Amino acid sequence: MLVASTQIQALIAAVAAMPSASQGMRAMMERASEFDSPVRAMLTGIALDPQGRPFADQVLQDYWADEARQQQLLSSGSLGREVIIGGGFHAAVYAAARVLSGYPKPLVVERTDRVGGSFAMTSRPVFFLNSRNRAGTLGPAGDQGASLNYLPGAPIQASATSMTAYQTNADMAFVIRLALAQYADVVPEATVLSASDASDGVTVEVDGLALLRVGRVIDARGLGDPIDQPLANGGNIVTFPEFMQRMASRWPLRQVRRVAVIGGGDAGKCAVESLLGLAPQPFMAAAALDTVDRIDWYAQTLPARCEDWQQQIRGRYQAIGRYLRPDRSGLQRLTVKPRQARPVALPDVCLVEGRSYDLVVLATGNRVDAIDGLELDSFEEYATDFGVVARRHFTMPVFRIGPHAQLPFTERERQDGVADIAENAVAMFRTAAKTAALAAVLPGLADG
Q: Is 82 exposed, middle or buried (0-12, 13-18, 19+ CB in 10 A)?
A: buried
Distance CA 42, CA 115 (A): 22
pLDDT of residue 447: 58
- For 128-184, strand residue ranges (E) read 128-132, 166-168
Cα separation, 322 vs 169, whole angstroms: 24
Q: CA-CA distance, 366 to 225, in Å (whole number)? A: 5
Cα-Cα-Cα-Cα torsion 42, 46, 49, 52, nearest 10 degrees, comes to 130
Instruction: Provide the Cα torsion 224, 229, 232, 238; round to 10°.
Output: -10
- Estimate the crossing angle of helix 89-100 against helix 428-441, to 10 degrees: 40
Is the separation of the CB atoms in 87 and 179 below 8 Å?
Answer: no
For the chain, the 3-state helix, strand and coil shares in percent, each to the nearest 5, are 35, 20, 45
Q: Please give the Cα distance from 326 to 335 (Å, whole number).
A: 10
Among the listed residues 234, 322, 225, 243, the one whose alpha carbon sits nearest the alpha carbon of residue 282: 243
Any idea what the Cα angle at residue 74 is, between residues 376 and 213, rounded to 5°?
55
- Looking at residue 448, its pLDDT comes to 47
Q: Which structural domains are found in the chain, ordered by start?
A: 65-224+370-441 (3.50.50.60), 227-363 (3.50.50.60)
Buried b (16+ CB within 10 A) or exposed e, 326-360: eeeeeeebbebbeeebebeeeeeebebeeeebbbb
C-alpha separations of 4 from 11, 64, 102, 154, 278 in Å: 10, 17, 15, 12, 38
Report CA-CA distances (Å) from 224 to 148, 163, 213: 22, 30, 25
Q: What is the pLDDT along the chain (448 residues), one digit of tens a residue?
A: 899 999 999 999 999 999 999 999 999 999 999 999 999 999 999 999 999 999 999 999 999 999 999 999 988 778 889 999 999 999 999 999 999 999 999 999 999 999 999 999 999 999 999 999 999 888 777 777 788 899 999 999 999 999 999 999 999 999 999 999 999 999 999 999 999 998 889 999 999 877 889 999 999 999 999 999 999 998 999 999 999 999 999 999 999 999 999 999 999 999 999 999 999 999 888 888 889 999 999 999 999 999 999 999 989 999 999 999 998 889 999 999 999 999 999 988 899 999 999 999 999 999 988 899 999 999 999 999 989 999 999 999 999 999 999 999 988 889 988 888 888 888 898 999 999 999 999 999 975 4
Give the CB-side neighbour count of residue 144, counting CA atoms within 13 A.
0
